[in-house]
Amino acid sequence: MRGSTNVGKRGLVRWSSKWWPGTIPLAVLWALAAWTSTAPLETELAARSTAALKDVLLDKSRIAVSGRDVTLAADAFSEDGRHNAIAAIEAVPGVRLVDDETRLVPEAKPFVWSAERDVVRVTLAGSSPLPASKTKLLEAARADLGGFEVVDQTGLARGAPPRFDEAALLLLGQVGKLKDGKITITDTKVSLAGMARDLGGREAIAAALKNLPEGFSVAANEIKAPPYIFQAYKDPVALTLTLTGNVPDSNARAALVATSGRKFFAEKVVDNLKTSLGAPSGFANAVTPALGALSRLSTGTLVVTDREVKLSGDALYDAAAAQLRANLTKDLPQGWQVKADISVKPAAAPVDATVCQQLLTEVLAKGKIRFESGRSNLDPDSAGLLDRLVETALRCPATNINVAGHTDADGDNNANQVLSEKRAQAVVDYLVKAGLPASRFTAIGYGSTQPVADNETDEGKARNRRIEFVVKEQP
């Protein structure tokens, strides 16, 4: 065995000196192989490298292959990402060298992202942390805004705060509630500006902001709401009070309609209100006295816009106009503005005692003068009715009027007597304050001595509690 091996070795050395002629066709083969295989090899390696990078997070990745050498240019989102990308390509079989032209995505400081809505489109701008979040946010915006044009101008950058995606998604959900405006995330601060699309939109956005992920805070919320408008129109011809506009909820609506029914004794209340969020604070406390003021006008319009109360119309007499101008501001909650544009209705022609009595009785048949229960203070709801009585009394200056108070039979007779006198006096005081001469009026209390209905039923008792006007020609 050993001998033959030695022979073989020696032979090989000798033979090998004669192997050279084969290198000529070998060179030809080599040239042909290089000529035909280079491009396919490069294509194959490029495909394999691309596949290897499938799970590595990169932006703008570009692979160039020259021979067996791969050049990778890309934006990575972390140092680890860069190393992983290079390692992944180095691991591709057949790759000889990897030329690393990757770089880190620039870091944004501060990290700003914004969504701006104008009339025609929503524009996303600023930075997104990863391509995945960029896509996710764009898709979410498209889904939320249903068909509205969304333009994505965001670039990629490092430095996003933790839970950025969650915060941005939540805020994108609010963009739909805006008519126009801009929502911006600057690091962990959120600022909002613009106009809500609907009443209540501002409140809905404010409520949603409470769910911002931990770490985020609202730096500025300057979302404005469209004006919150409530209107009431007193029509003396149709004898209607028309309520239009917004009220906070159905309870407030019922309360306002009920209160209007009491204040506007002769008018039918037409309720065209709708309920919506976003009422200014103190809405009910402002609208109630404003309606009271409107009830004292012959004809008039009340417009409540946000915190501004605009009352215009004709008062029934001079003193009423002055009182309305002076008192309305006082009656409204703090922070509310009043614009009163009140003129005085021209006085009607004078009438004689008989017609005067008839007119007063008619007015009192439509409505009752109310007092606080068991007391002699006039109910403010009766101001409209009292003004109407004043207006009528002004038309018959040549008469004297007895104002008679009556009570029901409940309780002590003496107490009822006193109460009826006091109530009659309260009415007289109102008339005098309205500018009528005190000498024309006499307050008389009858207690429960002159019932007009059965004192056994509630209805009868209510009819017995009354104020009557008796007109007499002046002697």
* Chain residues in the site for other proteins (CB under 8 A): 7-8, 11-12, 14-23, 25-26, 29-30, 32-34, 37-38, 41, 44, 66-69, 93-94, 96-97
Q: Is there a contact between 179 and 126 (Cβ–Cβ < 8 Å)?
A: no
Residue among 11 and 437 whose Cβ is closer to other proteins = 11
Residue among 48 and 263 whose Cβ is closer to other proteins = 48
Query: Rounded to the nearest whole angstrom, what is the least distance from the CB of residue 62 to other proteins in the complex?
Result: 17
Residue among 21 and 147 whose Cβ is closer to other proteins = 21
Q: Is there a contact between 307 and 337 (Cβ–Cβ < 8 Å)?
A: yes
Residue among 53 and 396 whose Cβ is closer to other proteins = 53
Structure tokens at 248: 């906070």
Structure tokens at 299: 């004809």
In angstroms, rounded to a whole number, what is the distance separating the alpha carbons of residues 16 and 304?
Answer: 111
Query: Rounded to the nearest whole angstrom, what is the least distance from the CB of residue 24 to other proteins in the complex?
Result: 10
Closest CA to 196 of 212, 174, 229, 170: 174
DSSP per position, 383-417:
HHHHHHHHHHHHT-TTEEEEEEEE--S-S-HHHHH
Beta bridge partners of residue 229, listed in sequence order: 305
Query: Rounded to the nearest whole angstrom, what is the least distance from the CB of residue 72 to other proteins in the complex?
Result: 15
Closest CA to 116 of 107, 124, 104, 128: 124
Query: Rounded to the nearest whole angstrom, what is the least distance from the CB of residue 50 to other proteins in the complex?
Result: 16
Residue among 3 and 147 whose Cβ is closer to other proteins = 3
Q: Is there a contact between 162 and 190 (Cβ–Cβ < 8 Å)?
A: no
Residue among 7 and 238 whose Cβ is closer to other proteins = 7
Residue among 37 and 217 whose Cβ is closer to other proteins = 37
Query: Rounded to the nearest whole angstrom, what is the least distance from the CB of residue 33 to other proteins in the complex?
Result: 4
Residue 273 has phi, psi (to 5 degrees) of: -80, 160
Q: Sheet with 466-473: list strands edge to edge.
A: 441-445, 399-406, 466-473
Query: Rounded to the nearest whole angstrom, what is the least distance from the CB of residue 23 to other proteins in the complex?
Result: 7
Tell whether the torsion through CA atoms of 295, 297, 300 and 302 is positive or negative: negative
Query: Rounded to the nearest whole angstrom, what is the least distance from the CB of residue 46 to other proteins in the complex?
Result: 14
Query: Rounded to the nearest whole angstrom, what is the least distance from the CB of residue 25 to other proteins in the complex?
Result: 6
Residue among 68 and 197 whose Cβ is closer to other proteins = 68
Q: Residue 344: is it exposed, middle or buried by C-beta count within 10 angstroms (0-12/13-18/19+)? A: middle
Q: Is there a contact between 154 and 124 (Cβ–Cβ < 8 Å)?
A: yes
Closest CA to 227 of 302, 303, 338, 285: 303
**Non-local CB neighbours of 156 within 8 Å, separated by 6+ positions:** 59, 75, 77, 105, 127, 128, 129, 130, 131, 134
Residue among 27 and 258 whose Cβ is closer to other proteins = 27
Query: Rounded to the nearest whole angstrom, what is the least distance from the CB of residue 98 to other proteins in the complex?
Result: 11
